[in-house]
Amino acid sequence: MAANQVGKTLAAGFELGMHTTGMYPDWWRGRRFDKATTWWAAGVTGESTRDNPQRILLGRPGAWGTGAIPKVNIVDTSSARGLADAVDTIRIRHLDGETSSIQLKSYEKGREKWQGETLTGGVWFDEEPPQAIYTEGLTRTNATGGMTLITFTPLLGMTEVVRRFLLEPSADCHVTTMTIEDAEHYTPEQRLAIINTYAPYERDARTQGIPQLGSGRVFPLGQNEIECEPFAIPKEWVQICGLDFGWDHPSAGIRMAWDRDADILYVIAAHRAREQTPLMFAGAVRPWGGWLPWAWPHDGLQHDKGSGEQLAKQYRDHGLNMCKVKASFPDGTNGFEAGISEMLDRMETGRLKVFKHLSQWFEEFNLYHRKEGLIVKLNDDLISATRYAMMMRRYAVTQFQSIRNVPEFQSRARADGLSWME
């Protein structure tokens, strides 16, 4: 899932060339096929399949053998009907002496044309396929353990295909991203000129490989506008953590530092994982510092069906310094949109920064979007944890403060309706 014109089709085409010939370079660490295999390669239309996958695999018409498949390995090709210079099937000599094949297809002929076959190699989708065709292509490899490749720029936004890869990751799936900055065949001046040709709403998709969300993005800023290089936190800055409870969706925690003089919040650490018990989660984040206070949402007041204990108490019992009250603003409210609005305001004014190496946080930031005006509450666990910490920053402390003996924290607790000695 990558920017435009950075080499994604070229990369997949040469990978298919290796798989169908069995000719792998010594440095190749990916999957290897030691026997001849059968493949499908497809684009959106017959023309786009001819002009892209076919061109990369074979070379241009009249120059077969100048692409990813060496001329000596091309056994023969058969022409497609009704489209000049288009090939239907390529037959390739594999190192095992048998013949591999690649059949060239398109999405425009519909799902029915994708049924029936069993592929020993796999499917290469060049550009994002419709969900029905993606599923049919995937099904062709179920019985053989074949593989599926998709090379595309995510101009269609958060489609079902994109959503499954990004929001439902699994051990047998991988997303490789590539931005225009990774394309070393462009000079810095060329990159800037290319970026400036795109409309703002499509710039992230075409230059960063981020799904196009247009005006639906909750935070319509570039990642570069809020990221910063990691640095040592001054000992006089106060800190607080935020926790978003989860199980089926990940549990998430962030660590936040607050430069109170400049009123800038920094997200300096993040942890996100599925199916973590309070014990497991606490063990993962405890190295951040047992002195850190943790802000948490209203569902921490719910009682666990098994133990009957409040969720927040379970985390407290495993060593996290949980705030005594659920996350709220100083006036006692905890409005969702109010929190999002303050986060956006801080981002736009340079008062919310995130250490640039926190890739999981930026993954959520880049995909956080609205549908029909409402925020889609998926893949927002670290964002939510950040919101809770921001709301409760009045409870942030330095490592060397003893909260019970600091009058300002006592007064804040009383304002929240607490007896400080509880």
Give the tens place of pLDDT for each residue, 80-130: 999 999 999 999 999 999 999 999 999 998 888 998 899 999 999 999 999
pLDDT 10s digits, 13-64: 999 999 999 999 999 999 999 999 999 999 999 999 999 999 999 999 999 9
pLDDT at 139 over 80: yes
**CA distances for 338 relative to 245, 390, 393, angstroms:** 20, 12, 15
pLDDT at 394 over 80: yes
**257: in domain:** yes
Q: How far is it, in rounded angstroms, from Cα 328 to Cα 251? A: 20
Q: How confident is the model at residue 373 (pLDDT cuts 50, 70, 90)?
A: confident
pLDDT 10s digits, 53-67: 999 999 999 999 999
One domain for residues 147 and 37? yes
Q: Which amino acid is it at 74? A: I
Say if residue 13 is exposed, middle or buried (CB neighbours under 10 Å; 0-12, 13-18, 19+): buried
- What is the pTM for the complete model shown? 0.60
One domain for residues 177 and 236? no
**219: in domain:** no
Q: Single out the catalytic residue among 15, 127, 128, 364.
A: 127
CATH number of the domain that residue 349 is part of: 3.30.420.280
Please answer whether residues 153 and 10 qualify as being in contact, where contact means their C-beta atoms are separated by less than 8 angstroms. Answer: no
Domain span including residue 26: 8-182
Predicted local confidence at residue 304, as pLDDT: 56
Is the four-CA dihedral 314, 317, 319, 323 of positive or negative sign? positive
Predicted local confidence at residue 292, as pLDDT: 95
Query: For the chain, how many structural domains are there in total?
Result: 2
> C-alpha angle with apex 188: 186 to 192, nearest 5 degrees?
95
**420: in domain:** no
127 is catalytic: yes
One domain for residues 128 and 270? no
CB atoms within 10 A of CB 147: 20
Q: How confident is the model at residue 214 (pLDDT cuts 50, 70, 90)?
A: low
Q: How far is it, in rounded angstroms, from Cα 68 to Cα 59? A: 8
What distance lies between CA 108 and its chain's CA centroid?
A: 28
One domain for residues 375 and 245? yes
One domain for residues 158 and 241? no
**Among residues 288, 267, 292, 301, which one has the least CA distance to residue 382?**
267
Please answer whether residues 395 and 412 qualify as being in contact, where contact means their C-beta atoms are separated by less than 8 angstroms. Answer: yes
Q: How far is it, in rounded angstroms, from Cα 209 to Cα 273? A: 24
